[in-house]
C-alpha cells in the first residue's frame, strides 16, 4: 500500500467512525430529572409494583423474564408509552409516532402523550426515530431496563438485538395486531403492574360505556374502517375486524360488515376490492376513513362509490389524515380518553344519516 493510499484509507476510516458516532445524534436527548422548581412534582413517585418479581411474560417472539421492577422504561411501536404513562411511569424514551403524522412540524409524540409527561412532571423522553427501522443505538443510549413493544411489528432479528439491550416484550401473537386491551395487559405485566393494568382497562371500558350510554344510533348498525385515495377511486381498502381501528368501533357498540369479518378470518389486516365490486360493502352502515371533508363529496361524485348506501346517505366519518385526531383513532391507553367524546359525536352524527 502506497503512503498516498494509506492516507486515503485512514481518512475514510476516520470519516466512517465520525459517521457512526453521529448516528445517534439525530434523536433528541432527554433532560436529567424532573424540573426541580415545580413543587407539585416532588410528590410524583413510581407506583408500587403489585406483582412480585421476577415476572415472566410469554409473547409471539419468546418468553421474557424481568428480574426487578424497572425504573427506566423504553417504549417502541405504537402507543406502548401511553400504557406506562397511564400507570404513572414515564418512559425515558419512545418511538416517534410518525405513523400518521405529516412531518411538517417535526415528528415526535402526540398531545395526549406529552400532557401525561407534564402531569407526571417527568422530563420529555428521548424520541427514537423510526424512519429507517428500529433505532437501536438511541434505544441503547437511553439505557432502559425494559423495552415495551406490546403493539409493534418487531421481527425476530430485531427482537434478539433489543433483548441484548434490555428485556423486551413483544406483541402477543401477530405483528401490528394487538387490541388495545391486550396491549395494556402485556405492557403492564412487564412493568409488574398487571393488577393496575386490569384496573386501567376497566376504567377505560367504564369511560366508553359512559360516553356511549345516551347513544342509541350505534345499536344494530355496522361500521368499518376504510382507506380511500381520492386520486384513485378504483380501489376500496377495508381494514379487518381485528385491526385496532376497526375493533374499537366494535367497542363502541357497532357490528361489523361481512367483508371485514371475512378478511379477519383469513388472517389479514386489510384487503383491497375493486370499486367495480362496490356492492360487496352494501351492508356497511357507517364508513370511517382517513381524509378531510372533501372526501365524501368526491366519493359521491364517483359513479361506482355512489352506489354504496353509506356513501349515498353521507354516513361517512372522515377523521382527517396526518393530524392528531386521525392518529388518536388507533386507540391507546391515553388516546381513548382524549378522542372519545369527539369520535362518538362524529359517529353518532354519521349513524343518524343511515336510512
Partner 1 sequence: MIVVAIGGVVLVVIAVAASLAFGSRAVTLGEIAEGLGAWLRSDVAERIGAIAVAERIPRTVLSIVAGAALAVSGAVMQAVTRNPIADPGILGVNTGAALFVVCGIAFLGATTTFDYLGLALVGGALAAVIVYVVGSIGPGGATPIKLALAGAAMTAALSSLVSAVLLPRLAAMNDFRFWQVGGTGGADWEAMAVVAPLLIVAAVVATVCSGGLNALGLGDDVARALGVRVGLTRAVAASAGVVLCAAVTAIAGPIAFVGLMIPHAVRLVVGPDQRAILPLSALGGAALLALADTLGRVIGSPGEVEAGIVTAFLGAPVLVVIARRTRMRAL
Residues that bind partner 1 (CB under 8 A): 98-103, 107, 129, 131-132, 227, 229-235, 271-280, 303-304, 307, 321-322
Task: Write the DSSP string, 15-48.
Answer: HHHHHHHHHGGGSPPPPSSS-TT-GGGGG--PPP
The pairing of strands 168-169 and 146-148 is: parallel
Q: How far is the CB of 27 from partner 1 (least distance, A)?
A: 13
- Return d(Cα 218, Cα 154) in angstroms, integer: 35
Residue among 136 and 182 whose Cβ is closer to partner 1 = 136
Proportion of the chain in helix, strand, coil states, percent, rounded to 5 = 45, 15, 45
- Return d(Cα 320, Cα 289) in angstroms, integer: 8
Residue among 76 and 169 whose Cβ is closer to partner 1 = 76
Residue among 91 and 327 whose Cβ is closer to partner 1 = 327
Residue among 155 and 306 whose Cβ is closer to partner 1 = 306
Residue among 100 and 246 whose Cβ is closer to partner 1 = 100
Residue among 98 and 313 whose Cβ is closer to partner 1 = 98
- Residue 333: other Cβ atoms inside 10 A: 29
Q: List C-alpha distances in Å: 305 to 232, 274, 287.
A: 12, 10, 12
- Return d(Cα 179, Cα 200) in angstroms, integer: 14
Q: How far is the CB of 101 from partner 1 (least distance, A)?
A: 7
- Return d(Cα 30, Cα 74) in angstroms, integer: 12
Q: How far is the CB of 26 from partner 1 (least distance, A)?
A: 10
Residue among 60 and 107 whose Cβ is closer to partner 1 = 107
Q: How far is the CB of 129 from partner 1 (least distance, A)?
A: 8
Q: How far is the CB of 17 from partner 1 (least distance, A)?
A: 23
Q: How far is the CB of 290 from partner 1 (least distance, A)?
A: 8
List the beta strands (DSSP E) in 180-256: 223-227, 235-239
- Return d(Cα 321, Cα 183) in angstroms, integer: 24
Residue among 99 and 250 whose Cβ is closer to partner 1 = 99
314: left (phi over 0), alpha (psi -120 to 50) or beta: left
Q: What is the DSSP letter of 99?
A: G
Q: Which residues contact 194 (CB under 8 A, 6 or more apart)?
A: 50, 51, 55, 185, 188
Residue among 99 and 136 whose Cβ is closer to partner 1 = 99
- Residue 307: other Cβ atoms inside 10 A: 14
The dihedral of CA 47, 51, 56, 60: what is its sign?
A: negative
Q: How far is the CB of 44 from partner 1 (least distance, A)?
A: 33
Q: How far is the CB of 276 from partner 1 (least distance, A)?
A: 4
Q: How far is the CB of 300 from partner 1 (least distance, A)?
A: 12
Q: Counting runs of H as helices and runs of E as strands, what totals does the chain give?
A: 13, 12
Amino acid at each position: 500500500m502506497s503512503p498516498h493510499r494509506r492516507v486515503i484509507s485512514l481518512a475514510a476510516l476516520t470519516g466512517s467512525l465520525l459517521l457512526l458516532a453521529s448516528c445517534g445524534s439525530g434523536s433528541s436527548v432527554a433532560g436529567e430529572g424532573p424540573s426541580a422548581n415545580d413543587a407539585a412534582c416532588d410528590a410524583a413517585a413510581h407506583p408500587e409494583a403489585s406483582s412480585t418479581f421476577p415476572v415472566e411474560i410469554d409473547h409471539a417472539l419468546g418468553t421474557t423474564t424481568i428480574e426487578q421492577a424497572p425504573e427506566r422504561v423504553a417504549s417502541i411501536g405504537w402507543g406502548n408509552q401511553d400504557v406506562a404513562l397511564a400507570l404513572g411511569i414515564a418512559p425515558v424514551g419512545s418511538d416517534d409516532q410518525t405513523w400518521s403524522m405529516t412531518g411538517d412540524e417535526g415528528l415526535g409524540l402526540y398531545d395526549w402523550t406529552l400532557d401525561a409527561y407534564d402531569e407526571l412532571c417527568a422530563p420529555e423522553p428521548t424520541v427514537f426515530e423510526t424512519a429507517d427501522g428500529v433505532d437501536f443505538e438511541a434505544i441503547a443510549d437511553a439505557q432502559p431496563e425494559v423495552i415495551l413493544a406490546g403493539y409493534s411489528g418487531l421481527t425476530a432479528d430485531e427482537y434478539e438485538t433489543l433483548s441484548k439491550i434490555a428485556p423486551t416484550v413483544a406483541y402477543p401473537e401477530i405483528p401490528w395486531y394487538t387490541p388495545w386491551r391486550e396491549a395494556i395487559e402485556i405492557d403492564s405485566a412487564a412493568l409488574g403492574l398487571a393488577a393496575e393494568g386490569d384496573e386501567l382497562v376497566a376504567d377505560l371500558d367504564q369511560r366508553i360505556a359512559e360516553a356511549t350510554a345516551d347513544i342509541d344510533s350505534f345499536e344494530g348498525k355496522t361500521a368499518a374502517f376504510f382507506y380511500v385515495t381520492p386520486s384513485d377511486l378504483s380501489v376500496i381498502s377495508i381494514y379487518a375486524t381485528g385491526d385496532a381501528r376497526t375493533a374499537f368501533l366494535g367497542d363502541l357498540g357497532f357490528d361489523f360488515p361481512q367483508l371485514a369479518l371475512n378478511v379477519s378470518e383469513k388472517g389479514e389486516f386489510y384487503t383491497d376490492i375493486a370499486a367495480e365490486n362496490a356492492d360487496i360493502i352494501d351492508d356497511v352502515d357507517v364508513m370511517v376513513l382517513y381524509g378531510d371533508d372533501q372526501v365524501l363529496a368526491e366519493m359521491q361524485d364517483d359513479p361506482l362509490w355512489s352506489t354504496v348506501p353509506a356513501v349515498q346517505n353521507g354516513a361517512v366519518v372522515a377523521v382527517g389524515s396526518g393530524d392528531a385526531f386521525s392518529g388518536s383513532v388507533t386507540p391507546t391507553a391515553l388516546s381513548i380518553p382524549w378522542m372519545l367524546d369527539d369520535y362518538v359525536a362524529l359517529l353518532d352524527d354519521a349513524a343518524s344519516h343511515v336510512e
